[in-house]
Structure 1
Amino acid sequence: MRALTVKYPWSAAIAHGEKRIENRSKPMPVAHIGSTILIHAGAAEDENALPRDMVRQWPQHFRAIVAVATLARFHQAAKPLCCAPWGFPDTFHWELEDVRPLRHPIRPVRGQLGLWTVPDDVLAAVQRQIDLERTSA
Structure 2
Amino acid sequence: MRAVTIRQPWATLIALGEKRFETRSWATKHRGAIAIHAGKAVDKKACAHPAIKTILSKHGYSTPNDLPIGAVIATGVLMDCWQSFIQEAQVVLESAGRIKNITAFEESLGDYTEGRYAWELDQMNILQKPIPAKGYLSLWNWEESIEGN
Q: How many Å separate the matches in 2 of 1:17 and 1:39?
A: 12
- Corresponding residue of 2:134: 110
- Corresponding residue of 2:96: none
What code does the residue aligned with 1:118 have? W
TM-score scaled to structure 2, two decimals?
A: 0.72
User: 4+ residue runs of structure 1 moved beyond 6 angstroms?
Assistant: none
What code does the residue aligned with 2:77 have? T
* 1:14-70 residue CA offsets vs partner (Å, 9 max, x unmatched): 112411100000011x2x12x201000001012222423433344510001000011
- In structure 2, stretches of 5+ residues that fail to align are 93-101
Q: How many Å separate the matches in 1 of 2:46 and 2:85?
A: 21
- In structure 1, stretches of 5+ residues that fail to align are 126-137
Aligned length: 120
What code does the residue aligned with 1:76 have? Q
- Corresponding residue of 2:4: 4
Q: Secondary structure at the match of 1:14?
A: helix
Q: Which structure carries more strand by proportion?
A: 2
1:72 to 70, 75, 79: 79
- Corresponding residue of 1:46: 43
TM-score scaled to structure 1, two decimals?
A: 0.78
